Structure 1
Amino acid sequence: MMLLRVTALVLLACGLWDCATASAGSEGAVDCCLATSSARIPPRLVKSYKVQTAGEGCRVDATLFITKRNKKLCAPPADKTKWVQHVIKKLNRKSAAGCRRGKNQKPRGKNCGNSRH
């Protein structure tokens, strides 16, 4: 009788572990900024950005800057901070310039034709 209880308990634990890992794997881990820093980031160090909103599985609104060395830096939302707006404008201008094409030329930028970063 004791062996049956232990076996049932082990099977239940394995089943719960399998369900927990399967649900985490199917959803994928959400990479979120947990806090933001007001330290200014020089635009020349940044290659792209993403806007994080609290409604998309993250707890705080933030602007995620990705540096040329692939570091992720969390800044306040652009609507609350002028320097963040400035960096985003520079990135958008640089991206648009890379997408301009003349006759018989292909777009040069990676995100040409994409509205989101």
Structure 2
Amino acid sequence: MASKVAALLFLGLICFQFATAQIVMDCCLSVSEKRLNLKNLVSYSIKRAGMGCDISATVFVNKKGMKLCVVPPEGNPWVQNLIKILDKRHPHH
């Protein structure tokens, strides 16, 4: 009987740890307004403040795998243009 209780407590503890585990987000700590060279970019992602990150940003990935944090696309036509071109290159993005 004691072993069943101990097993249930152990199982409960494991479930509790999974439920309280936080998902690690890859967020930017700051953003740049520096324009990037399209020929070096391979992909992008958009991070939103309040959705796991403190600040909104567009994260471009270059050919070397480096992640470059720049301003979000809203109100920044040059960022919107880069995204549009990358989407045409890789429509499955």
Deviation at 1:61, TM superposition (A): 0.7
Paired residues in the alignment total: 76
Match of 1:60 in 2: 55
Deviations 1:41-71 (A, max 9, x none): 0111110000100121111111000111100
Match of 2:77 in 1: 82
CA RMSD for the aligned pairs? 1.8
Q: Pairwise mapping of residues 66-105 of structure 1 onto structure 2 (< 5 A)? A: 66-96=61-91
Q: Tell me which of the two structures has the higher relative contact order, counting C-alpha pairs closer than 8 angstroms and 6 or more residues apart.
A: 2
TM-score normalised per structure 1: 0.59
Deviation at 1:34, TM superposition (A): 1.2
Q: Which has the higher helix share?
A: 1
Deviation at 1:27, TM superposition (A): 2.4
TM-score normalised per structure 2: 0.72
Which of 1 and 2 has greater Rg? Answer: 1
AA of the residue aligned to 2:64: R
In the alignment, the residues of structure 2 paired with residue 28 and residue 54 of structure 1 have an alpha-carbon distance, to the nearest angstrom, of 15
Query: Unaligned regions of 5+ residues in structure 2, if any?
Result: 1-16
AA of the residue aligned to 2:25: V
Q: Which runs of 4+ in 1 moved over 3 A?
A: none
| 1:78 match: secondary structure | coil
Pick aligned residue for 2:29 from 30, 34, 52: 34
